[in-house]
């Protein structure tokens, strides 16, 4: 029996090799890439990494192709942009969000992808092709998507809210969280006010900033990942965040609920791209194709718990979030992408954001206190020197 299995296995392997070669006939032979290195720069916790029994995707890739994967992480699109544009480091594969893809294409920072090397691109659903940031589908392959909404604790919030205005409800003062990054935080106010989140009009941004100032006394804190703990242990009641993160949080606190505000909300797509200074483009394309294989994509989708634009995953009966009503249910409201803003608008937004964060900390009082402390220290020092001098002169 064992022998039979071995023979069968050998047969399957042999049978698979030509199939594989035929499959990749147009592509670079992966064998020629053996022993090379692939530098992947991705968000933290954005790939199935072998924890809690999950598939270790990078190891799987290394084992299959003999290409060493150097996998490092960044924390924001802006950090990624700084690293790539600085020119000090060369990466082969990155995963920017939609508006950053747009910016990088505009600034000629991305390499065109040779889609004949990525046969698995067939799994990408039509609605995720030719999106605004890459209208001719030359530079990017969508990796994840998600929609922003509001998470709330049903034990602490009355009724069923349906609007962004709940984030301004004084009843929940000190129980409200908001994003700790300007673009997302501003969008909460912009959606509520019916403003364009991609507006280039300074007045619009000023209006949104005023709205956020109005909200500030009610906000417990501006958070990013801290939201997990704060919402799970009931420290905060209401927070805007992404639907995938809600699914993860609800596993630890079943009282949490989620809704899409009626005024409309933000949708994002993170896409795999190859930067201009890539040293190993062929391996990067091989890696993208590998990431689109159904079982790899499923493992990643179950690990990251965001929406996965991949028909293979969506039809995979083993995918645990297959029919998740939140991840894959219809979004009943209007959704909008963030677009790349002009440098002036970006600067304005950053300034308004800084104002918002600093304002209210009684800035004048702080400065006076600082001056008093400095003067006191100086006085003590001077006094000490004088006393020392006097003593010396007495001696």
Partner 1 sequence: MKRKRSVLMPVYAVLILVFLYAPILVLVVYSFNAANSTAQLHGFSLKWYRELFHDAATLDAFRNTMILAVSSSLISGVLGTVSAVGIFKMKNKWVKNVTRGVTNIPMMNPDIVTGISMMLLFVFAGRMLGRTGVLGFPTMLIAHITFCLPYVILSVLPKLRQTDVNLSEAAQDLGCTPIQSFFKVVLPAILPGVLTGVMIAFTLSLDDFVISYFVSGPTSQTLPIRIFAMTKKRVTPDMYALSTIMFFAILFLLIIINYIQMRGEKKQIEKVKY
Total residues binding partner 1 (CB under 8 A): 41
Q: Which is nearer to partner 1, 197 or 256 (CB)?
A: 256
What's the rounded Cα separation, in Å, for the pair 257 and 259?
7
What's the rounded Cα separation, in Å, for the pair 49 and 45?
8
Q: Give the CA distances from residue 141 to residues 78, 242, 339, in Å, rounded to whole numbers and listed in that order.
A: 20, 21, 18
Task: Note whether 265 and 240 are within 8 A (CB).
Answer: no
Instruction: Return the range that interacts with partner 1 (CB under 8 A); candidates 11-19, 22-30, 70-78, 379-387.
Output: 70-78
Residue 145 contacts partner 1 per CB under 8 A: no
The residue from 1, 14, 19, 51 that contacts partner 1 (CB under 8 A) is 51
CB burial string 80-99: b at 16+ within 10 A, e below = bbebbeeeeeebbbbbbbbb
The residue from 71, 115, 121, 295 that contacts partner 1 (CB under 8 A) is 71
Residue 52 contacts partner 1 per CB under 8 A: yes
Touching partner 1, residues 259-318 (CB under 8 A): 277, 279, 304
Instruction: Return the range that interacts with partner 1 (CB under 8 A); candidates 163-171, 195-203, 248-256, 314-322.
Output: 248-256
Task: Note whether 249 and 305 are within 8 A (CB).
Answer: no
The minimum distance between CB 277 and partner 1, in angstroms, equals 6
Touching partner 1, residues 216-235 (CB under 8 A): 224-225, 228-229, 232-234
Describe the chain by its helix, strand, coil percentages, rounded to 5: 50, 15, 35
What's the rounded Cα separation, in Å, for the pair 9 and 39?
33
Q: Taking CB under 8 A as the rule, which mask of x and - marks residues 372-391 in contact with partner 1?
A: --------------------
Residue 238 DSSP one-character state: E
Q: Which is nearer to partner 1, 73 or 199 (CB)?
A: 73
The residue from 48, 61, 67, 74 that contacts partner 1 (CB under 8 A) is 74
The minimum distance between CB 56 and partner 1, in angstroms, equals 6
Q: How many CA atoms lie within 13 A of 198 on its CB side?
A: 11
Residue 216 corresponds to which tokens in the numbers above?
């500030």
What's the rounded Cα separation, in Å, for the pair 382 and 376?
10
The minimum distance between CB 240 and partner 1, in angstroms, equals 16
Q: Taking CB under 8 A as the rule, which mask of x and - marks residues 85-124 in contact with partner 1?
A: -xxxxxxx--------------------------------
Residue 156 contacts partner 1 per CB under 8 A: no
What's the rounded Cα separation, in Å, for the pair 268 and 249?
20
CB neighbour class for 384 (10 Å; exposed up to 12, middle 13-18, buried from 19): exposed
The minimum distance between CB 152 and partner 1, in angstroms, equals 16
Q: Which is nearer to partner 1, 38 or 192 (CB)?
A: 38
Residue 50 DSSP one-character state: S
Residue 372 corresponds to which tokens in the numbers above?
């008093």
Instruction: Return the range that interacts with partner 1 (CB under 8 A); candidates 1-9, 41-49, 150-158, 332-340.
Output: 41-49
CB neighbour class for 368 (10 Å; exposed up to 12, middle 13-18, buried from 19): exposed
What's the rounded Cα separation, in Å, for the pair 98 and 160?
32
The residue from 9, 11, 34, 44 that contacts partner 1 (CB under 8 A) is 44
Q: 């890539």: which residue's tokens?
A: 278
Residue 154 contacts partner 1 per CB under 8 A: no
Touching partner 1, residues 249-268 (CB under 8 A): 252-253
Q: Give the CA distances from residue 136 to residues 106, 122, 140, 275, 342, in Å, rounded to whole numbers and listed in that order.
A: 14, 16, 10, 17, 22
Q: Which is nearer to partner 1, 49 or 210 (CB)?
A: 49
The minimum distance between CB 233 and partner 1, in angstroms, equals 3
What's the rounded Cα separation, in Å, for the pair 382 and 388?
10
Residue 110 DSSP one-character state: E
The minimum distance between CB 30 and partner 1, in angstroms, equals 21
Q: Which is nearer to partner 1, 23 or 59 (CB)?
A: 59
Q: Which is nearer to partner 1, 180 or 198 (CB)?
A: 180
The minimum distance between CB 276 and partner 1, in angstroms, equals 10
Where along the sequence are the contacts to partner 1 (CB under 8 A)? 39-41, 43-46, 49-52, 56, 58-59, 70-75, 86-92, 224-225, 228-229, 232-234, 245, 248, 252-253, 277, 279, 304
């Amino acid at each position: 029996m064992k022998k039979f299995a071995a023979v069968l296995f050998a047969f399957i392997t042999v049978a698979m090799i030509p199939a594989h070669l035929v499959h990749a006939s147009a592509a670079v032979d992966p064998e020629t890439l053996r022993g090379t290195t692939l530098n992947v720069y991705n968000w933290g916790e954005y790939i199935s990494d072998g924890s809690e029994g999950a598939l270790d995707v990078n190891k799987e890739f290394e084992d299959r192709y003999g290409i060493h994967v150097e996998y490092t992480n960044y924390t924001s699109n802006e950090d990624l942009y700084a690293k790539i544009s600085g020119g000090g480091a060369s990466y082969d594969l990155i995963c920017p969000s939609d508006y950053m893809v747009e910016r990088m294409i505009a600034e000629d920072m991305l390499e065109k992808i040779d889609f004949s090397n990525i046969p698995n691109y067939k799994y990408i659903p039509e609605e995720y092709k030719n999106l605004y940031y890459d209208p001719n589908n030359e530079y990017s392959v969508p990796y994840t998507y998600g929609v922003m909404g509001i998470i709330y604790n049903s034990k602490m919030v009355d009724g069923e809210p349906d609007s962004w205005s709940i984030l301004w409800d004084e009843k929940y003062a000190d129980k409200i969280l908001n994003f700790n990054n300007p673009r997302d935080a501003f969008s909460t106010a912009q959606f509520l006010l019916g403003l364009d989140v991609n507006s280039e009009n300074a007045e619009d941004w000023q209006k949104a900033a005023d709205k956020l100032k109005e909200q500030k006394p009610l906000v417990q804190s501006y958070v990013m990942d801290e939201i997990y703990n704060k919402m799970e242990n009931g420290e905060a009641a209401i927070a805007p965040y992404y639907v995938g993160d809600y699914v993860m949080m609800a596993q630890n606190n079943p009282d949490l609920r989620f809704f899409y505000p009626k005024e409309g909300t933000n949708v994002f797509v993170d896409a795999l791209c190859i930067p201009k200074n890539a040293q190993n483009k062929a391996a990067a394309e091989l890696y993208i194709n590998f990431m689109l294989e159904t079982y790899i994509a499923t493992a990643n989708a179950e690990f990251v718990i965001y929406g996965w634009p991949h028909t293979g995953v969506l039809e995979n009966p083993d995918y645990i979030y297959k029919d998740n009503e939140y991840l894959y249910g219809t979004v009943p409201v209007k959704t909008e992408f963030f677009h790349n803003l002009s440098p002036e608008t970006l600067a304005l937004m950053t300034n308004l954001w800084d104002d918002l964060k600093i304002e209210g900390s009684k800035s004048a009082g702080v400065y006076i206190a600082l001056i008093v402390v400095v003067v006191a220290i100086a006085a003590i020092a001077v006094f000490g020197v004088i006393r020392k001098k006097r003593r010396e002169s007495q001696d």
